[in-house]
Amino acid sequence: MQRENHPAGPGRCQVDGSPQAAVGDWVWLNVADLQLLIDALRHDGRRVVGPQVADAAVVYRDLERAADLPRGWIDEQDGGHYRLRRDEAAGVFDHVVGPHSLKNFLFPARETIGRFLREDGTWRQLDDLPPEPPLAVIGVRACDLAGLAIQDRVFLGGESVDPGYRRRRESLFLVAVNCRRAAATCFCHSTGCGPAVSAGFDLALTERDGRFACEVGSERGAAVLATVSAATSLLACSHDEVSAARGQPAALEQAMHARQEEAGQPKPRSLNTEGIRDLLFDNLEHPRWEEVASRCLSCTNCTLVCPTCFCSSVGEVADLSGDAVERERHWASCFTLDHARMHGTSVRSSTASRYRQWLTHKLAGWIDQFGTSGCTGCGRCITWCPVGIDITEEVAAIRDTAGQKESPA
């Protein structure tokens, strides 16, 4: 690794005589170096996934070639609206979040959690679940790192630890990206979850002038970067370059706070979180629940794309002989009647009561359970709602008319 003559501190790789950067160092990667990074991760035995254009969206897929990253694509998002358009000036990561998050990989939509075999009339459990290679994800945003921290509390905190989640989480390698644009549905600045990446990553990229300022966030990240540096010359970032890279998402956050509705542009989102727990719990009979229910389809899209929703159900699938059974866990949603079914009936029979359950749990009940809100401000629930229901708008409507009463059916 080539070094410039900079004073000690951020931006200088200070391992004497060694090409390996240390945690906290910053180096420059060129676009071509992204392929070396992918190759290094794959050589390490990892399954690498990254953002790619597929099915008219930017989604996470298995990634072998850096050329498959969505360079030159911009996403336009608003309530119930998602479109991609070409922009030759756009960088590799100038899209915002798509429908996929880390949840899709650490807490899969469908997962085998047990296998059973009947032999000579006796059932026995098989211990050999299919092995999974360690995972590396490229392109993770700050809001999804915040979502990962929340999921860690759910699946790793307390007395009950999910073994599959823990196995995947312990080996997870994260290449994060600092955002330099925001969609109209983004409100991470309101929840304190972005747009700057601050922790929880192995490497973090800030795209600037056709290359990437890369911050080393872990020893594991430093080791992978050493493999990259063995194949090419990497320059350390100077103090000024580090400051400029850090200033990029900070400037975006300031713009998100200050942005105003412009002619022909969607209304920007923000969420007033002051006293939000008490606000929602004190307005469980507010008429807004019925109003939003008149639009809600109970389609469950919001819970499926949410990076923190964790409800699931378990079922068993037998083969045709009936002698082999797999126990599967699959995603569930509080928007379905069966989710609240007890003693043969659903205790949340109306759409209003189900939407109220989701919103109050997400923004209020989680604070009691996990010490934090369950919302990271990613805006996916707004974009992927077929009728464009806006979580920030619903909270604002209740806040503006707090104290009104009308019990959902």
Q: Confidence class of residue 162 from pLDDT cuts 50, 70 and 90?
A: very high
pLDDT recorded at residue 10: 44
Residue 17 tokens read as: 């005589």
- What is the band of 342 on the pLDDT scale with cuts at 50, 70, 90? confident
Q: Where are the domains of the chain?
A: 26-258, 276-400
According to the model, what pLDDT value does residue 2 have?
42
What pLDDT does residue 14 have?
Answer: 39
- pLDDT above 80: residue 262: no
Query: Residue 291 pLDDT more than 80?
Result: yes
> What's the rounded Cα separation, in Å, for the pair 388 and 382?
6
CB atoms near residue 146 (< 10 Å): 27
What per-residue confidence (pLDDT) applies to 264?
62
pTM: 0.90
What mean pLDDT value characterizes the chain?
Answer: 91
Comparing 84-93, 203-212, 273-282, 364-373, which segment has the lowest mean pLDDT?
Answer: 364-373
Provide the 3-class DSSP secondary structure of residue 27: strand
- Mean predicted confidence (pLDDT) in 66-72: 97
Q: What is the pLDDT of residues 219-247, one digit of tens each?
A: 999 999 999 999 998 999 999 999 999 99
Residue 325 contacts residue 317 (beta carbons within 8 Å): yes
Q: Does residue 212 have a pLDDT over 80? A: yes
Tell me the pLDDT band of 4, cut-offs 50, 70 and 90: very low
pLDDT given at position 352: 95
* Spatial separation of the C-alpha atoms in residues 300 and 373, rounded to whole Å: 20
Closest CA to 299 of 381, 401, 242, 395: 381
Question: Is the pLDDT confidence value at 3 over 80?
Answer: no
Average pLDDT estimate for 330-354: 88
